[in-house]
Amino acid sequence: MSPARNEKDIPVTSDWGASLTPRLAQFAAVARHEHVTRAANELGVPQSTLSRAITRLEDDLGVALFARRGRTVSLTPAGRTFLASAERALTAVEQAAESVRADADPGKGKVAFGFLHTLGWETVPVLIRAFRADHPRVRFALVQNYGEAMLERLRAGDLDLCLTSPVPDAPDLVARRLAEQRLRLVVPDDHRLASRRRVRLAEASDEPFVTLERGYGMRRILESLCAEAGFTPRIAFEGEEPETIRGLVAAGLGVALLPPPPVPRPGVRELAVTAPRAVREIGVAWLAGRPDTPPVAAFKSFLLSRRDRLLAG
């Protein structure tokens, strides 16, 4: 009979994982060899240390995992049940370790990369094609989202890098400006301003605006530029995707302030805004203090080398 154990020595339920995990490989080795000494030799530990570890494991579980016959051991029914789960757990840990090693491989690792919807049509595919000319086996997990949501995913560790606008200024993030993009006032092709090439934003102060929802960088930029022009925009419709916004403008439901389209959109005119200066800055951001894997470091360096050429392809 095992000696009586103090209550403080018994793991509470929430500590079972931490208590058992280091001993699963020891248990599995003894089960595989059905011999403590051979298992100890495989693990590179003294036989006495391994014997004590297995006894303590049985005490913690409150069941006998092995039937002992001299120097050999065999699994009890409880031991066989526990072994099946232990082997699944060890396999899962090994697969997870292999996965993170593969993701960090300099030649064929993975980069989790987020970017704005407005950059997904042309800019990001061109960037990745150029990067993979020198890193052909690096893999990408691509995420399109609006700015605030991407920054939250960056903070949560779901992303390594993201292209966003406005360029964030937060103590837990590092951000670098890469490009500046001129914005245009988009009007229906039968609008009173449609024959113009350039306008002041104040000339649209009485117009209903079609814009992106709150949380999108372009929404904040619109409100800021309109305030600078001396008015508060009257929002008629909100959406989540710039080309949908253009479709609503083409239908005569309002005007919009947007970056240039990937391809010309019928039914609208794109007018340069002369005042105030209507631009958006695009930057790359990452989590401060987070070490980069080699593929992430290589892609970050590549993006920084494209400063002021990001939108040129």
Can you give the CATH number for the domain in which 36 is found? 1.10.10.10
Is there a single domain that holds both residue 20 and residue 130? no
Is there a single domain that holds both residue 89 and residue 229? no
Number of domains in the chain: 3
Write down which residue in 104, 138, 170 finishes a domain: 104
257 CB-near residues (< 8 Å, 6+ apart): 183, 184, 185, 186, 201, 209, 211, 218, 221, 222, 225, 273, 278
274 CB-near residues (< 8 Å, 6+ apart): 198, 199, 200
Is there a single domain that holds both residue 165 and residue 213? no
Backbone angles phi, psi at 48, to 5 degrees: -65, -35
**Residue pLDDT, tens place only, 268-298:** 999 999 999 999 999 999 999 999 999 999 9
Is there a single domain that holds both residue 201 and residue 238? yes
Can you give the CATH number for the domain in which 264 is found? 3.40.190.10
**Residue pLDDT, tens place only, 237-264:** 999 889 999 999 999 999 999 999 888 8
> Looking at the domain assignment, is residue 3 inside a domain?
no
Is there a single domain that holds both residue 44 and residue 153? no
pLDDT at 209 over 70: yes
What pLDDT is attached to residue 106?
Answer: 56
> Looking at the domain assignment, is residue 97 inside a domain?
yes
- What is the residue-averaged pLDDT of the chain? 87
pTM of the model: 0.68
Residues in a beta bridge with 235: 209
Write down which residue in 104, 135, 152 finishes a domain: 104
Is there a single domain that holds both residue 25 and residue 64? yes
> Looking at the domain assignment, is residue 288 inside a domain?
yes
Which residues form the domain of 61? 16-104
**Residue pLDDT, tens place only, 70-98:** 778 888 988 888 888 888 887 777 666 66
